[in-house]
Amino acid sequence: MNTWLWPICLVSVGGFVGAISRFQLGTYMSRRFPSSIPYGTLTINLLGSFLLGLLMKYHPFDNWKLLIGTGFMGAFTTFSTLNLESMKQLRSGQWQAWMIYTMLSYTGGILLAFIGYYI
């Protein structure tokens, strides 16, 4: 296989699996825990932060980083959805839910990435 095609295939396969995983987990969490706090996106982003920290620590190989880090985690986690849901909370006056959601997302994400890396 051409040297330029292999990385594209790794990212594509990882992205395919990551997007499907995000859809399935997000749908499950939204149905299981209906709330003004989007627990699906929160869970996905926190889990993704932790797993990416683990990946960076234990898999220094570029192929794993392309497949899991760029491909899977790039499609699995979702910064844009976090921001869209935050904006919706603010527009509907859900200040307390917005504060909890953003604090848990950003602080928890950074903390879990560190924990994943230092395990």
Q: Is 78 annotated as a binding residue?
A: no
Give the C-alpha separation, 83 to 108, whole Å: 16
DSSP annotation of 41 reads H
Identify whether the C-beta of residue 5 lies closer than 8 Å to the C-beta of residue 62: no
Q: Is 18 annotated as a binding residue?
A: no
Which residue in 23, 76, 26, 79 sits closest to 52, CA to CA? 76
DSSP annotation of 78 reads -
Identify whether the C-beta of residue 29 lies closer than 8 Å to the C-beta of residue 40: yes
Give the C-alpha separation, 75 to 11, whole Å: 10
Q: Which residues does the annotation place in the binding site for Na(+)?
A: 74, 77
Q: Which residues does the annotation place in the binding site?
A: 74, 77
